[in-house]
Amino acid sequence: MAVRGKKLGAWGEQAACSYLAGKGYEIVQRNYRTARGEIDIIAREGATLIFVEVKTATSLRMGDPVTWVTPKKQQQIAMMASLYLAENELVDINCRFDVIGVVRSGEQAVIEHIINAFWI
């Protein structure tokens, strides 16, 4: 049975969280939402706070999922990160933006992690 849409996205986000945790990252929050958008994963690696966008696909027919994060989406993620930092009164903290592409193959996840995927 094919998994699509929100269900596929949630599966990919779970795979990305498991991957990050396995690399020693602390998952701070999942699906941070405001009226302006969402950040899939907020994680911490040492003293650095990481805002992670996850893109999930069932094949590479539409291209590599990590390439789907457009400049417009990058701006939205940056705005959401600013809101998160202000809401949590976090100042003078190192931050970065990562993108994780997940390709589902059966029940397995093929993961591509782009560290410092973009700068704002």
Residue type, 81: A
Q: What is the pLDDT of residue 36?
A: 87
d(CA 111, CA 52): 13
Higher pLDDT: 63 or 27? It is: 27
- Share the mean pLDDT of the chain: 92
For Cα atoms 60, 100, 120, give the angle at the middle one, nearest 5 degrees: 120
Domain that holds residue 64: 5-118
Q: What is the pLDDT of residue 62?
A: 81
Q: What is the pLDDT of residue 119?
A: 87
pLDDT tens for 7-40 read 888 999 999 999 999 999 999 999 999 998 999 9
Contact 40, 30 (CB under 8 A): yes
Which residues are CB-neighbours of 66 under 8 A, at least 6 positions away?
Answer: 55, 99, 100, 101, 112, 114, 117
What distance, in Å, lies between the first and last C-alpha atoms of the chain?
40
Which CATH number does the domain housing residue 97 bear?
3.40.1350.10
Q: What is the pLDDT of residue 3?
A: 56
- Is the pLDDT at 1 greater than 80? The verdict is no
Residue located via tokens 């498991």: 18
Higher pLDDT: 6 or 94? It is: 94
Count up the domains in the chain and report the number.
1
Percentage of the residues of the chain whose pLDDT score is greater than 90: 74
Lowest mean pLDDT among 20-34, 35-49, 60-74: 60-74
Question: Quick one: which of 46, 53, 80 has its CA closest to 69?
Answer: 53
Confidence of residue 77 (pLDDT cuts 50, 70, 90): very high
d(CA 23, CA 115): 13
